Structure formats: structure tokens, C-alpha cells
């Protein structure tokens, strides 16, 4: 055997830590696009029709190449025409939707305007059962009483389902959605990352209580972009009515965690639709 050509790595056991699949959760990407109407007008009619068919097929959640979750929405305003939210354990399956879209028959008429790459996670501020017990005590509940035990048992019973929804979410069937990226401040006088965990937890508990006031109206998914994108977190909100999006964001900005420590990126408000509905709305005269 030629020792120069021998590579021991070829004969080593595979490392289970080497993988594109997270140990917990899914990859999540948001993509935003604009149609180039000039390019579309210059397309031959048969080519444009084929492009519309390919567009609709690719963005069908039941398509053979679709990731585990695929949501299409119509973006309000001039920042984009439509948006995709894609989630899957495999980042290449997520990315493939964007690549196939840009390489498809309508690709020349699409302008990618923004994207955010992140992972789902269970926040460190989600209480474990023992921490929830401590919270109950701080709120005046006495350990061992029927009330204390009932509340603790109820929380323990729903914690698994809540964490599963955070890591592998089902997307709600609500029509209005909003996405925005955000950071936590690192200014000398307002540095989130120099606060103690207890103080950060207190602030996030307050923030969470405000959000709970919108139960049944708004639901959210927080994904982490730290090390993956320019912003640290991505916030996706869904609501039964666009008015609730305005209400919850306004109310939560008075919480100290937002008022003192949060920095927000651009907001994208959109309305959930099928790919066919997107085409009819954005390109009503193109067949």
C-alpha cells in the first residue's frame, strides 16, 4: 500500500455528530420574492403558461420535493410580492425549493428580495417542571396544597406538547401572518447578554404573560438565527385578523424586554394563499 495515498479517515467509523440534521428541531427558512413584470411580458405565451404551471406545482405542499412544512403567502406592501416559509429536518430540502423556483421556467422573472435562515428551538426561558413549581411558590401557592399540585400536574401534562410545537410546529390555519427578525441589545448601558439568567428569565416571563393575553387570537413561532444569519431571532406571528398583529406588537413593546433590550428588523405582513391564488392576485392579466 502506498502510504502517501492512504487516508485513515476512509476506514474510520462514521461520526454520528456529523450530520445536517439537528439533534432537536428543524431548519426553517423564510424567502421573499418579487415578480419582474417586464420579463414576464416579454415571455412567449406558451412559456409563461408552462412557468405558471411549474410554479404552482413546486409550491404545492403535497409536491414530492416539498419540505415537511411549506407555506405560501401574499406580501402586503412593496417589499415583496410573495413569501415562502419552509421547515424540514434537512436544510438541503428546504434550500432546494428556492433553487428549483429560481431555475424553473419563471425563474428569470423572479427577484429574491430577502431571506432569513434559522432553526426551531425550545427557549432556555421555557420553565422546566421544577422551575414552574418555583414560580408557583413565588406567586403565593403553597407546595403540597391541592391547588399547587393541580397546577403543577396540568403544566407537566402540556409541556411536552408545547415543546413539540416549538421544535416541529404545525402551522395554524389562520389567514394573516407577520415575520420580522430581531436582536437583543448589546449597548453598554443596555446589554442583554450581561444580565444574569435570573434577570433575563424575569423579563421574558413578563413578556410571555403579555403574549398569553392574545391566546386564541395570535400564535407565534420563535426561531434562532444566531450563527446562521445577520439577526439573532426570527419571529413569525399568525392571527385570525390583521388587527391582532398590530395589537400584540404594540402591547408587547411596553414590556421591559422589548422597550429596553430589543432591536427589530423589517416587518413583512402577508396573507396565506395557495400558489395559484398568488399568481391570480399578482399577475391577473397573464393567463
Listed residue (236, 221, 222) closest to 179, CA to CA: 236
Question: What pTM does this model have?
Answer: 0.89
Residue 75 lies in a domain: yes
Does the residue 220 lie in any domain? no
Query: Is the torsion defined by CA of 140, 146, 152, 155 positive or negative?
Result: negative
> Considering the domain boundaries, does residue 87 fall inside one?
yes
Is position 251 within any domain? no
User: 80-104 burial string, b = 16+ CB within 10 Å, else e?
Assistant: bbbbbbbbbbbbebbbbbbeebeeb
Strands (E) located in the chain: 27-35, 69-75, 82-88, 110-120, 176-184, 186-187, 190-191, 218-224, 233-239, 262-264, 268-272
Is residue 144 included in any domain, yes or no? no
Low-confidence ranges of the chain (pLDDT < 70): 1-16, 286-287
Q: Is residue 61 part of a domain?
A: yes
Residue 114 lies in a domain: yes
Q: Tell me the β-bridge partners of 184.
A: 262
Domain total for the chain? 1
Each residue's pLDDT tens digit, 129-173: 998 898 899 889 999 899 999 999 999 999 999 999 999 999 999
Distance CA(236)–CA(258), nearest Å, equals 16
180 catalytic? Reply is: yes
Contacts 24+ apart (CB under 8 A), 110-114: 110/33, 110/34, 110/35, 110/36, 111/33, 111/34, 111/35, 111/36, 112/31, 112/32, 112/33, 113/32, 113/33, 113/34, 113/79, 113/80, 114/30, 114/31, 114/32, 114/79, 114/80, 114/266, 114/268
**Among 93, 90, 89, 92, which Cα is nearest to 66's?**
93
Contacts of 50 (CB under 8 A, 6+ apart): 105
CB 162 within 8 A of CB 126: yes
Domain range for 114 is 27-120+272-282
Q: Which residues pair with 236 in a beta bridge?
A: 179, 221
Residues 6+ apart with CB under 8 A from 242: 176, 269
In a domain, residue 234? The reply is no
Q: Which residues contact 138 (CB under 8 A, 6 or more apart)?
A: none
Catalytic residue among 33, 114, 180, 268: 180
Task: Give the CATH number, domain containing residue 61.
Answer: 3.30.70.1030
Kindly list the distances between the CA atom of residue 92 and the CA atoms of 9, 81, 89, 104, 275, in Å, as whole numbers in the listed order: 25, 24, 9, 17, 22
Rounded Cα distance, 195 and 186, in Å: 10
Amino acid at each position: 500500500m502506498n502510504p502517501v495515498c492512504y487516508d485513515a479517515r476512509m476506514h474510520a467509523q462514521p461520526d454520528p455528530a456529523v450530520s445536517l440534521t439537528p439533534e432537536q428541531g428543524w431548519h426553517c427558512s423564510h424567502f421573499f420574492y418579487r415578480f419582474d413584470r417586464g420579463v414576464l411580458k416579454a415571455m412567449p405565451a406558451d412559456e409563461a403558461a408552462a412557468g405558471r404551471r411549474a410554479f404552482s406545482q413546486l409550491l404545492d405542499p403535497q409536491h414530492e420535493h416539498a419540505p415537511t412544512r411549506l407555506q405560501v403567502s401574499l406580501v402586503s406592501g412593496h417589499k415583496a410580492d410573495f413569501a415562502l416559509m419552509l421547515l424540514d429536518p434537512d436544510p438541503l430540502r428546504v434550500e432546494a425549493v428556492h433553487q428549483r423556483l429560481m431555475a424553473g421556467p419563471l425563474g428569470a422573472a423572479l427577484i429574491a428580495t430577502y431571506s432569513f435562515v434559522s432553526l426551531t428551538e425550545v427557549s432556555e426561558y421555557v420553565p422546566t417542571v421544577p422551575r414552574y413549581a418555583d414560580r408557583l411558590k413565588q406567586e403565593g401557592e403553597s407546595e403540597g396544597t391541592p391547588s399547587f399540585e393541580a397546577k403543577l400536574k396540568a403544566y407537566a401534562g402540556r409541556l411536552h406538547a408545547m415543546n413539540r410545537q416549538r421544535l416541529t410546529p404545525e402551522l395554524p390555519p389562520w389567514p394573516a401572518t407577520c415575520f420580522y427578525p430581531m436582536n437583543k441589545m448589546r449597548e453598554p448601558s443596555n446589554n442583554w447578554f450581561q444580565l444574569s439568567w435570573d434577570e433575563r428569565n424575569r423579563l421574558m416571563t413578563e413578556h410571555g404573560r403579555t403574549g398569553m393575553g392574545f391566546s386564541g387570537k395570535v400564535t407565534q413561532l420563535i426561531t434562532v438565527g444566531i450563527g446562521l444569519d445577520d439577526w439573532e431571532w426570527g419571529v413569525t406571528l399568525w392571527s385570525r385578523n390583521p388587527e391582532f398583529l398590530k395589537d400584540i406588537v404594540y402591547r408587547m413593546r411596553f414590556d421591559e424586554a422589548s422597550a429596553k433590550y430589543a432591536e427589530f428588523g423589517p416587518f413583512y405582513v402577508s396573507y396565506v394563499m395557495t400558489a395559484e391564488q398568488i399568481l391570480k392576485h399578482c399577475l391577473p392579466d397573464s393567463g
